[in-house]
Chains A and B, each alone.
Chain A
């Protein structure tokens, strides 16, 4: 009897440990999965803030410069903040991931930065206040070679220029 009980306890402990470890693994994968939607980074890692509640960057899908719903939301916050802080000018940096040819990536980064600039302008920010520069694949924010790293690197970042 005693032996049987202890056997059962051991089994329970093993089972519990197994379930726990399975849970842990599941949450980590889930965490990464939720950071990329389709091909676009949607997490908050690497994001900095221009002011409280005003994220500095938006992310793009591979080879694309289309602004997602989340990106447009971020840029409306930037535009609102820029309307309130009229003395501040910005530079929009456009970036690409490392999985393309260098020259094309320079052009792609420029296209992304301008997509951002255009959107800010439609929300009333003068184009004179927004400079644009493309770094192509030259300045990754995440140095890794993984889909997550690439998604974090396909970005445009709005930085204060003065």
Chain B
């Protein structure tokens, strides 16, 4: 068993390696050779309610898993038309020769039933070449949660086959945009990572910007122009209760939570100068972190809470700086050509993602925390504000298009890209969208 897993591991590493070797020759997106996987529709047991069968929940769950795996860029889900075995029999004991024949290397099977208003989903992951079971798990939940079950299964499969935590059972908070460019209506919106279950958290009566989750995903901090007083707010997603947290005589903006969720770090602008402050949410104690006549903004903590990266124009132009969380030991880390903004510390702690502006183009890139090893992942007319997937493998950001003289052709959309610079994808949203922020894993 161990040997076989090691082989699979080697297989993944091998293909990952070969993709690095290809970088200089071929810049097409997602040319990594993905692992062929068959996701059998989940068998719906006959005693289940008619409703469950009507929405074809077994087949729907398998499609969600396939879509998640496909969009990660690491897997190639095979066409269901080529599947020979029936879902219920495959789930009991796959005929591995059949699956080998269609070149599947991994197989996902499962079954679903409803008893006493509880949805029970069972799934198994099989190693086709070794003819062995790799995972067997069962989940019981309320029937309306069936999409989440599909995401949790996707995370289990991803983790088992890549060795890394997944990021499918997550949500994205963003700003939904509508209306003409000079009078945009903006609302806070939240959706599942795959674009399902969109909900609006504000009505669009006032301008809202830059929402970010707290570590437990129950609270959001954002900026609102409510009553023409631009301030940092706190919103409880479940109760809908909103409160001002940065009610200083001036503008508060660019908020983010500390990794322990106890503080909000933000910029406070007054008299033409922006500095960085923290507010303790329990004691309401305010601490000034930077004190400089230049603009200091876009602060982001390291995952251990010991450091802060931020954006400052103290050198004359926007550059990225790192300091201790008490504001001491400030070091500039960007010295490349162009100007830099929106630094965000990776959840793994080893990288900082940023926006770079150079010769009329906007880039999303990553660098080590000392500023070395800069890699630009994507170039565009306008894009900014990267946010990390909880496993630190994918970045989500937004793009705006160039518009005509009357604002025609303008759009704002969400995109994701792999840390490798491959697998760039549009994230579909119901309206135009900007300022995305990725939650941590919900399970």
Q: Which residues of A contact B (CB under 8 A)?
A: 63, 65, 98-104, 106-108, 110-111, 113-115, 118, 133-135, 138-146, 149
Report B-chain residues with C-beta under 8 Å of the C-beta of A146: 405
Residue of A at shortest CB range from B275? A107
Which listed residue, A108, A133, A145, touches B295 by the CB 8 Å rule? A108
Report A-chain residues with C-beta under 8 Å of the C-beta of B305: none
Docked-complex contact A145 and B406, CB < 8 angstroms: no
A38 CA to B384 CA in the complex, in Å? 27
Docked-complex contact A103 and B271, CB < 8 angstroms: no
Min distance, Cβ B180 to any Cβ of chain A, angstroms = 7
A118 CA to B271 CA in the complex, in Å? 9
Top-3 shortest CB links A-B:
A143-B407, A114-B272, A101-B341
Docked-complex contact B295 and A111, CB < 8 angstroms: yes
Min distance, Cβ A113 to any Cβ of chain B, angstroms = 8
Docked-complex contact B182 and A140, CB < 8 angstroms: yes
Docked-complex contact A101 and B251, CB < 8 angstroms: no
Report B-chain residues with C-beta under 8 Å of the C-beta of A135: 207, 225
Q: Which residues of B contact A (CB under 8 A)?
A: 180-184, 207, 209-210, 223, 225, 228, 230, 250-251, 253-254, 267, 269, 271-274, 295, 297-298, 311, 313, 317-318, 341-342, 355, 357, 382, 384-385, 400, 402-407, 410, 434-435
A114 CA to B180 CA in the complex, in Å? 28
Which listed residue, A99, A134, A144, touches B404 by the CB 8 Å rule? A144
Which listed residue, A63, A65, A144, touches B403 by the CB 8 Å rule? A144
Docked-complex contact A134 and B251, CB < 8 angstroms: yes
Known: A106-B253, A144-B403. 7 other contacts (CB 8 A): A101-B311, A106-B223, A106-B269, A107-B267, A134-B230, A143-B407, A146-B405
Report A-chain residues with C-beta under 8 Å of the C-beta of B250: 110
Docked-complex contact A107 and B295, CB < 8 angstroms: yes
Docked-complex contact A143 and B311, CB < 8 angstroms: no
Report A-chain residues with C-beta under 8 Å of the C-beta of B355: 101
**29 A–B contacts, CB within 8 A, in A order:** A63-B318, A98-B400, A99-B382, A101-B341, A102-B434, A102-B435, A103-B267, A103-B297, A104-B297, A104-B298, A104-B313, A104-B341, A106-B209, A106-B254, A106-B267, A107-B297, A108-B295, A110-B269, A111-B269, A118-B272, A133-B228, A134-B251, A134-B269, A138-B184, A142-B405, A143-B403, A143-B407, A143-B410, A144-B403
Report A-chain residues with C-beta under 8 Å of the C-beta of B181: 140, 143
Report B-chain residues with C-beta under 8 Å of the C-beta of A98: 382, 400
Min distance, Cβ A158 to any Cβ of chain B, angstroms = 15
Report B-chain residues with C-beta under 8 Å of the C-beta of A101: 298, 311, 318, 341-342, 355, 357, 384-385
Min distance, Cβ B266 to any Cβ of chain A, angstroms = 10
Residue of B at shortest CB range from A93? B228
Docked-complex contact A63 and B297, CB < 8 angstroms: no
- How many cross-chain pairs have Cβ atoms below 8 Å apart between A and B? 110
Please judge, given known A-B contacts A103-B254, A103-B298, A104-B297, whether A114 and B271 are in contact too, CB under 8 Å: yes
A140 CA to B254 CA in the complex, in Å? 20
Min distance, Cβ B263 to any Cβ of chain A, angstroms = 18
Report A-chain residues with C-beta under 8 Å of the C-beta of B342: 101, 103
Report B-chain residues with C-beta under 8 Å of the C-beta of A140: 181-182
A142 CA to B207 CA in the complex, in Å? 19
Report B-chain residues with C-beta under 8 Å of the C-beta of A106: 209, 223, 230, 251, 253-254, 267, 269, 297
Min distance, Cβ B332 to any Cβ of chain A, angstroms = 16
Min distance, Cβ A55 to any Cβ of chain B, angstroms = 20
Docked-complex contact A102 and B209, CB < 8 angstroms: yes
Which listed residue, B228, B385, B406, touches A102 by the CB 8 Å rule? B385
Which listed residue, B273, B298, B317, B406, touches A144 by the CB 8 Å rule? B406
Report A-chain residues with C-beta under 8 Å of the C-beta of B297: 103-104, 106-107
Min distance, Cβ B131 to any Cβ of chain A, angstroms = 53
Docked-complex contact B295 and A143, CB < 8 angstroms: no
Residue of B at shortest CB range from A146? B405
Residue of A at shortest CB range from B381? A145
A144 CA to B404 CA in the complex, in Å? 5
Min distance, Cβ A106 to any Cβ of chain B, angstroms = 5
Report A-chain residues with C-beta under 8 Å of the C-beta of B207: 135, 138
Docked-complex contact B272 and A65, CB < 8 angstroms: yes
A150 CA to B317 CA in the complex, in Å? 18
Docked-complex contact A110 and B274, CB < 8 angstroms: yes
Report A-chain residues with C-beta under 8 Å of the C-beta of B230: 106, 133-134
Report B-chain residues with C-beta under 8 Å of the C-beta of A149: 405
Report A-chain residues with C-beta under 8 Å of the C-beta of B223: 106
Min distance, Cβ A141 to any Cβ of chain B, angstroms = 7
Min distance, Cβ B312 to any Cβ of chain A, angstroms = 10
A143 CA to B406 CA in the complex, in Å? 6
Residue of A at shortest CB range from B355? A101
A63 CA to B338 CA in the complex, in Å? 13
Report B-chain residues with C-beta under 8 Å of the C-beta of A65: 272
Report A-chain residues with C-beta under 8 Å of the C-beta of B254: 103, 106
Docked-complex contact B182 and A141, CB < 8 angstroms: yes
Report A-chain residues with C-beta under 8 Å of the C-beta of B317: 63
